[in-house]
Structure 1
């Protein structure tokens, strides 16, 4: 089984995941735009177990449909590295794709909150777009 490690900018915080991703997606919601400082968040989901090294600061945000997401940041450099959904931590974790620093990482299969996508952002071919979060 392959393993991948994603880390923050300064290297203080990292997460090691096992196996292939459960799915890759991008989110254009305003909360993700503000959280990342970019026009979308690119995330990959992985099954547990995973291993975290270093110290993280946490922030909980309530989504549009009431789900509570617990985001983990590096307290030194501020990188938003990964998050879990409360009540689902025992099944999966979402990791920022850019933190793997791997240009060969597979493209997203889905895009959510496409209603908030910047007009100049083009989705990769084959990406399924949802106007909002379908879950």
Structure 2
């Protein structure tokens, strides 16, 4: 498979919301900020950023939870209203991009994150590999 043929489909837990993207992600990262910890119920989020033009399928009901960041910009968590799974994030500062929750792809061999944002907030037990950039 060439990179232009690379396709990934993210689904929610109940299967009623589906998003397919074509091509490789522009960036894969983890974020350990407190908002991502609360949104995922875990120690960090693990996401892949794509251009909105990469989306080839976007089906199913969804809801948005909007929050305003410290710079006054909006950020939406887009989730299934039936099971609550966050499929992707949309943000004012990256209006032409979406950031998909990697776990929704169901691909254990998906590429590792290149960086961890808000690394000072990560849990002590989480020590990323040396090749992952830690960003405060």
State TM-score, norm by structure 1. Answer: 0.91
Equivalent position to 2:40, from 30, 36, 43 = 36
Equivalent position to 2:115, from 110, 114, 124 = 110
Between stretches 77-86 and 59-68, larger displacement belongs to 59-68
CA RMSD of aligned residues (A): 1.2
Q: Secondary structure at the match of 1:71?
A: strand
Q: Secondary structure at the match of 1:9?
A: coil
- Verify the 8 A CA contact 1:107 1:124 in the aligned structure 2: no
- Verify the 8 A CA contact 1:18 1:47 in the aligned structure 2: no
- How far apart are the structure 2 equivalents of 1:116 and 1:27? 9
Structure 1 residues 14-33: Cα deviation after superposition (integer angstroms, max 9, x where no partner): 11111000001111111110
Q: In proportion to residue count, which structure has more helix?
A: 2
- How far apart are the structure 2 equivalents of 1:83 and 1:96? 8
Question: Unaligned regions of 5+ residues in structure 2, if any?
Answer: none
- Verify the 8 A CA contact 1:62 1:69 in the aligned structure 2: yes
State TM-score, norm by structure 2. Answer: 0.90
